[in-house]
Chains A and B, each alone.
Chain A
Amino acid sequence: DTAVSQTPKYLVTQMGNDKSIKCEQNLGHDTMYWYKQDSKKFLKIMFSYNNKELIINETVPNRFSPKSPDKAHLNLHINSLELGDSAVYFCASSQPTYENTEAFFGQGTRLTVV
């Protein structure tokens, strides 16, 4: 059973299009994240949700809109895609406690904007 699953794994699209990436976790975690990993391989946090509520929004253009219909899902919708949006997007989940804050990652969505 995959703990954190993202779809699609690959996404190639033209500039200006709107696309969505879906993420689901079956770990029962309260916290979910979206990260962007660019060509320099730096993993930058974009959003964090706790129990369906947005708790972190890191200076991400408002073309990016996360949606959490329930605590097991955190989807990412991107409007008016730009070339600079090309990256690998990782979804993750965790259940932060004092002893353990391990995050489990999905396999990533490789987005290419042409």
Chain B
Amino acid sequence: RKEVEQDPGPFNVPEGATVAFNCTYSNSASQSFFWYRQDCRKEPKLLMSVYSSGNEDGRFTAQLNRASQYISLLIRDSKLSDSATYLCVVFYNQGGKLIFGQGTELSVKP
């Protein structure tokens, strides 16, 4: 079993749609959680951290459920510029490992 697993993609949605990505992690000792975004042929960049109480940044909402070892990302009112691969990331303080999920590809169409 992979340490971090994400929904398989690709997700093809029209502009203005709401789309949700899910992610599960296997190690309950995980310390911190993030969503990264990777554009085609570019490096990954931090989209947002994920906090236990849930957090929002504009059209993006992240949720964490430690009991279920589950992380989600909700994108409202999708824009063409949201097209990218979204990576679920877990940090283990022991050993300082930053582990990436396999990514979910989002394509927003006009």
Interface residues of A (CB under 8 A from B): 31, 33, 35, 40-45, 48, 50, 55-56, 90, 92, 94, 96, 100-103, 105-108
**Chain B: interface residue count, which band?**
20 to 34
List the A side residues contacting B42 at CB < 8 Å. Answer: 107-108
- Does B21 reach chain A (CB closer than 8 Å)? no
Chain B binding surface, main DSSP class = strand
Q: Is B95's CB under 8 angstroms from A101's CB?
A: no
Extra inter-chain contacts (7) besides given A31-B96, A48-B96, A102-B46, CB under 8 Å: A33-B98, A41-B38, A42-B103, A45-B98, A96-B93, A96-B96, A103-B46
Interface residues of B (CB under 8 A from A): 31-32, 34, 38, 42-46, 49, 85, 87, 91, 93, 95-100, 102-103
Q: Kindly count the residue-residue contacts between A and B in the assembled complex, taking CB atoms under 8 Å apart.
A: 57
A31-B96, A55-B96, A101-B32 in contact; A43/B45 too (CB < 8 A)? no
Q: Is A41's CB under 8 angstroms from B96's CB?
A: no
Q: Is B43's CB under 8 angstroms from A48's CB?
A: no
Tell me the nearest residue of chain B to A6, going by C-beta: B43
Q: Is B102's CB under 8 angstroms from A56's CB?
A: no
Chain A binding surface, main DSSP class = strand
Bound form: Cα–Cα A41–B86 in Å: 11
Candidates A42, A44, A56; contact of B95 at CB < 8 Å: A56
Bound form: Cα–Cα A33–B100 in Å: 13
Q: Is B97's CB under 8 angstroms from A43's CB?
A: no
Q: Is B45's CB under 8 angstroms from A105's CB?
A: yes
Tell me the nearest residue of chain B to A49, going by C-beta: B96
